[in-house]
Amino acid sequence: MKRVLFVFGTRPEAIKMAPLVNVFKKDSDFETKLCVSAQHREMLDQTLNFFNLQPDFDLNIMESNQDLFSITSKILLALKDILKDFKPHLILVHGDTTTALSGALAGFYEKVPIAHIEAGLRTHNLASPYPEEANRQMIDTLTNYYFVPTNDSKNNLLLEGKKEKNICISGNTVIDALFLTLNLIKSNQNLEQKIKKDLSLYYPLNPQRKFILVTAHRRENFGEGLIQICEALKQIAYNNPQIDIVYPTHPNPNVQKTTKSLLTDTPNIFLIPPLNYEYFVYLMSHCYFIMTDSGGIQEEAPSLRKPILLMRNNTERPEALEAGVVKLVGTHIQSITKEAQNLLDNPKDYQAMSHSINPYGDGKACERIVDFIKNFQRDKE
C-alpha cells in the first residue's frame, strides 16, 4: 500500500483537491492522509466541512497580516516532522499557493516524489500574478508527476524540458467539484432552501432583477488596481440602476478597507461576507455574468454558461480567452465599464460568450489522476 500525503491550505485549493482526496481515500491501494496549513483558516474549514474532510495534520499557521516569509518558513518547519513520521511515497500539491510551494520544497528536501495538480499554467511574467506565477514555476521544477488541465499547459512543460511520459492531461479538478456541488444542491431541497434563506440576509434574491457577481482580491491588485475596480463598479451600478452587483468580499484587510470605503453607499451594490463554496456556486449559477480577478472562476463559470470579465492584466489560463468564454479587461475604469456595459446592452455578444465550450474539462479529472498514478507505479515495478 502506497502512503499518499495531500498538502494544501487555502479555500481554492481545498475546493479543487477535496474531490481528489475523497477518491484516493476510497481506494484500497493507498493510505491517504491530509495535511492543511490553514493559510486561510475559516474559509478553509467551511470547505472541508462541506466535502466531509477531516485533516490528519493541521499546521494552523494563520495569523493576521502574515507575510510570505512567515507563511513559507512556518509550513516548511512543520512539514519536516510530519514527513519523517508518516514517510509518504508521494506528496500531492495544487496550483500556485505558498502552501503548495512549501509542500513541494519539503518533499524535495526529503526526497519524496511530488505530484502537481494544475501544473503547467504560465503567464511568463514572474511579477503577475504575484507571487503565484513564480510559485507555480518553482513547483514544476521540483515536480515528478504533472497533471495539467489542457494541452496548452502540457506544451508549456514540454518546452521547459519536462518528460512527456510524466505528464497527464487530466482536465481541472475544479470541474469535478463544481458538478458534485451542483448535484448536491439540486438533489437536496432542504440545502437549496437553506442557501436561499441565508443569502437573503445579505442580498434579496429577486428573479425580476439581474445581478452581476464580483470577486476581486488578488495581491497584485491591492492599492490602485482595486481602487480602479471599485470605481468601475460604482459607475456600472450608477449607469444601470435596474442591475444589482453582488460582491462577496475577501477577509483580507487590504480588500475590506478599500471596498467598504468606496462601495458601501451605492444602493445597488451589495457587499456581502465571504461565502461557503456551495453558496458561491449557487450565486454563480444564477448571476447574469461574472467580473473577477480569480483564477479558478475562469475554469468554473464556462460550465455554467456565464461570461467572465477578467480584471487582470494577464492570465495563466489563455485557453479561456481563446475559447471566448473570458475577456481580459485589465484594471482600468474605462475598459472595465466599457466591457460590462457591452454585455448588458448587446445580447449577441452575451450569447457568444455564454455558449462557448469549457476548455477545462468534463468533471472526470480525479479518475484520470488516480489511474495515471496507479499505472505509472505499476510500470516502475
Query: For position 143, which CATH number holds?
Result: 3.40.50.2000
What is the set of active-site residues?
A: 96, 118, 132, 217, 219, 250
DSSP state of 354: H
pLDDT score at 380: 62
Rounded-to-integer distance, Cα 183 and Cα 103, Å = 32
Rounded-to-integer distance, Cα 66 and Cα 75, Å = 13
Q: Quote the pTM value.
A: 0.89
Q: Are residues 148 and 200 in the same domain?
A: no
* pLDDT < 50 positions in the chain: none
> Is the four-CA dihedral 108, 119, 63, 128 of positive or negative sign?
positive
pLDDT score at 379: 62
Q: Are residues 138 and 233 in the same domain?
A: no
pLDDT score at 284: 96
Q: Are residues 72 and 114 in the same domain?
A: yes
pLDDT score at 378: 65
Spell out the alpha helix ranges (H) of the chain: 11-25, 41-50, 68-86, 98-109, 132-142, 151-159, 173-187, 189-199, 224-239, 253-263, 277-286, 296-300, 318-323, 333-345, 347-354, 365-380
Q: Are residues 43 and 14 in the same domain?
A: yes
Cell numbers at 319, concatenated: 485557453
Rounded-to-integer distance, Cα 280 and Cα 238, Å = 25
DSSP state of 115: E
Q: What is the largest CA-CA distance in the chain?
A: 65
Q: Are residues 57 and 132 in the same domain?
A: yes
Q: How many angstroms separate the Cα of 372 from the Cα of each of 87, 170, 363? A: 22, 9, 16
Q: Are residues 298 and 199 in the same domain?
A: yes
Q: Which amino acid is at 287?
A: C
Q: Contact at 8 Å (CB) between 103 and 75?
A: yes
Q: Are residues 64 and 212 in the same domain?
A: no
Q: Are residues 141 and 206 in the same domain?
A: no
Cell numbers at 13, concatenated: 485549493
Q: Are residues 79 and 197 in the same domain?
A: no
Counted domains in the chain: 2
Q: Are residues 202 and 333 in the same domain?
A: yes
Instruction: Note down the domain range covering 327.
Output: 177-354
Q: Contact at 8 Å (CB) between 108 and 154?
A: no
Q: Are residues 134 and 219 in the same domain?
A: no
Query: Which residues lie closer than 8 Å to 347 by C-beta, 6 or more apart?
Result: none
Q: Contact at 8 Å (CB) between 93 and 9?
A: no
DSSP state of 290: E
DSSP state of 358: P
pLDDT score at 288: 97
Q: Are residues 253 and 142 in the same domain?
A: no
